[in-house]
Amino acid sequence: MLKKDPEQSDVLVASGLIKTFGKGHTQVTAVDDISLTLKAGEIALIMGPSGSGKTTLLSMLGGLLTPSAGSIEIEGQDISRLNAKQLPAIRALKIGFIFQAFNLLDALTVEENILFPARLDAAGRSSIKQRSDQLIVELGLQNRRHALPKTLSGGEKQRVAIARALINNPRMILADEPTGNLDSKSGQEVMMLLHDIARDQGVAVLLVTHDPRVEEIADRILWLEDGRLFDRKSETHAWTVDPVCRMKVDQWTATEKVTYQNAEYFFCSASCKTRFEQSPEKYLSDPPAESRNGQGE
């Protein structure tokens, strides 16, 4: 995990956030009195079951959804009090968004997609172009600069999405399931990119995910359920090992598992689970004790 200076400034301060939908007997509270602080250079991870309010919370923190109550300050500016005309500039210049579905524009090249948010930046065109060139090199996209999204792999698309999120030098990255559509190798690469961005550039990173692999890079892990946010305590972990790729898996959040010969095995991804089911004996010739008996560390 990252080592941070405790004096680093707060990038995000959210207080008493509530979001309700509907009225009367049909009213639903999606986010229920959540407060959260995120510092520069910190990576915080929010996990929780489907329907727990994760995307709603992220949408409010990014200025895409107005809270029913509470405040959201980004570097001291309360964005929850801004109107619809003021918010786009804040989103473009202070927040970088990374989505599971990439959200690239099909008709634009890699370079054009990266530059797209820069139209709201007041900086000169030459400096933005230099920034784009820098990101393209840092993210290994030199040979894909003029390629269209349909020709890119999943990992390449996500790297383009990360470069686009960084083009305006935001103070905070909000990532919604950034590894959800990626294989294990590409997912690991994206996780380390986000780790390096936080460490080297002092960007605050907030990730929402179901993927237990992302815990490797997180400074803090929070659990969201029924609209309420809780600290994730280390004692709630039940670690095991994926018998296919040998990656550590948290049984508490793992969604892929198989019972074989009266033992339960947990997997980091559906692909690892499929490989195991096709030939379990291949991966159990000498399995680690914790993966065979299903007990954590």
Domain around 146: 10-232
CATH number of the domain encompassing residue 158: 3.40.50.300
In a domain, 4, yes or no: no
pLDDT of residue 120: 61
Domain boundary among 189, 213, 232: 232
How far apart are the C-alpha atoms of 245 and 184, rounded to whole Å? 9
Assess whether 243 and 212 both reside in one domain.
no
pLDDT of residue 252: 66
Closest CA to 65 of 84, 46, 90, 92: 84
pTM value > 0.95: no
Assess whether 218 and 256 both reside in one domain.
no
Assess whether 85 and 174 both reside in one domain.
yes
pLDDT of residue 71: 95
How far apart are the C-alpha atoms of 5 and 249, rounded to whole Å? 29
Assess whether 15 and 146 both reside in one domain.
yes
Assess whether 163 and 281 both reside in one domain.
no
Assess whether 49 and 100 both reside in one domain.
yes
pLDDT of residue 104: 93
Assess whether 200 and 274 both reside in one domain.
no
pLDDT of residue 118: 81
> Which run of H or of E encompasses 47?
strand 43-47
In a domain, 1, yes or no: no
Mean pLDDT by 10 residues, the chain (297 residues): 56 95 91 94 89 90 93 93 88 88 93 86 69 91 95 92 91 90 84 89 91 83 86 60 82 81 88 91 65 41
Q: Which neighbouring-strand residues pair with 257?
A: 266
Residue partners of 269: CB distance under 8 A and separation at least 6: 183, 184, 187, 256
Assess whether 29 and 114 both reside in one domain.
yes
pLDDT of residue 251: 73
Domain boundary among 183, 215, 232: 232
Contact predicate 52/226, CB 8 Å: yes
In a domain, 2, yes or no: no
Assess whether 187 and 120 both reside in one domain.
yes
pLDDT of residue 286: 53
Token pair of 192, please? Answer: 């380390």
Domain boundary among 199, 217, 232: 232
